[in-house]
Amino acid sequence: MSIFPPKLNPGDTIGVVSPSNPVVDVIQTQYDDGISRLKEFGFQVLEGQHTHSSSWEYSASPIEKAQDINNMFANPDVKAIICTQGGYTANACLPYLDWDIIRTHLKIFLGISDITVLLNAIHARTGLITFHGPDVMWGFGNDQQAYELNEFNAILVEGRSGEIPANGDRKTIRSGIAKGKLLGGNINCLLKLVGTAYLPDFTGSILALEAIDVPAASFDHMFQQLKQMGIFEQINGILTGYIDGTDNKSETTTFMEDVLLRIVEEYEFPILKTQDFGHNCANTTLPIGGIISLDADQKCVSILNADHDKSDAV
């Protein structure tokens, strides 16, 4: 069962945690800007105890990270949890998360990049629908476009369902119509879950994929890995986002979707290319574990279940 958490209301408290890279001095101003932006929206902010911790030099310890997440879920005053940023080590805290606390204290959990690990693992272990979208520093602390702010408000405050507006041109990579549970995010980070107890079941899903600074040969080996795992036999469709490092380089000759098409040529599921999510672009807020529809011919993506007021949304 997939469960939407309650939506946000003005005045609610948002907890801030650093499950991956910590907030360090050189980016403190950007972090402060993100916190200020959340407060300008009318939210209260509660910072995790280890948000700035570098007790392991490059990040907080796995137990410290998990403590902050567990405490935020257990705190009845906290209505949503937003990660400060991505990085490299979010998977370290997975064994220390209290799944019973998360399962019985449902609330919004939002992040991007390396937080892909947590978005998918939390949904896999608890059924909670999590959200791929703006984080504190690179989302709210950056020069946000209206698209990103409007989507955050529409999905998490207003509880909007229906069609996701486009953030730019969309491209039909392979035609078709599909519906399914949305899973995925950053492909590098998603693959960290392979071989663990935290990888979600991809049966009947729509796979969302984005990446940053990945050469064509690396896309090849990652897609080959997904193929050899049987993932492409299980899914109903693929939704790709903005690929920073290739989509924005004039010298690019082979794009992610070119590699993908070669490797999935024997399958028939639709593939739609968008610019609606990814690194260094304005992001919509995508429900990981929520049901979406994808029409690659009409270039349309819609959220089909966004009832934050019912615990049995799916």
- What does the pLDDT profile of the chain (314 residues) look like in tens digits? 789 999 999 999 999 999 999 999 999 999 999 999 999 999 999 999 999 999 999 999 999 999 999 999 999 999 999 999 999 999 999 999 999 999 999 999 999 999 999 999 999 999 999 999 999 999 999 887 899 999 999 999 999 999 999 999 999 999 999 999 999 999 999 999 999 999 999 999 999 999 999 999 999 999 999 999 999 999 999 999 999 999 999 898 999 999 999 999 999 999 999 999 999 999 999 999 999 999 999 999 999 976 655 544 44
Rounded CA separation 231/146 (Å): 35
Q: How many CB atoms lie within 10 A of CB 95?
A: 12
Right CATH for 163-303 from 3.30.70.20, 3.50.30.60, 3.20.20.220, 3.40.50.300: 3.50.30.60
- What pLDDT shows up at residue 190? 98
The position carrying tokens 């049901």 is: 291
- What pLDDT shows up at residue 312? 44
Right CATH for 13-161 from 3.40.50.10740, 3.40.50.300, 3.60.15.10, 3.50.50.60: 3.40.50.10740
The domains of the chain are located at 13-161, 163-303
**DSSP 3-state of 314:** coil
Rounded CA separation 205/117 (Å): 17
8 Å CB contact between 106 and 5: yes
pTM over 0.85: yes
Which two three-digit tokens encode residue 106?
């449902």
Q: Please return the burial class of 204, using the count of CB atoms within 10 Å of its CB with bins 0-12, 13-18 and 19+.
A: middle
The dihedral formed by the CA atoms of 256, 257, 259 and 262, expressed in degrees to the nearest 10: 170
Name 77's bridge partners. none
Answer yes or no: same fold for 13-161 and 163-303: no
- What pLDDT shows up at residue 96? 98
Residue 223, CA atoms < 13 Å, CB-side half-sphere: 22
Rounded CA separation 97/174 (Å): 39
Q: What is the CA radius of gyration of the chain?
A: 18
- What pLDDT shows up at residue 17? 98
8 Å CB contact between 154 and 231: no
8 Å CB contact between 80 and 110: yes
Which helix (H) or strand (E) covers residue 111, if one does? strand 108-111
Query: Could you report how far apart the first and last alpha carbons of the chain are, in Å?
Result: 6
Which two three-digit tokens encode residue 93?
């805290």
Rounded CA separation 245/103 (Å): 37
- What pLDDT shows up at residue 314? 42
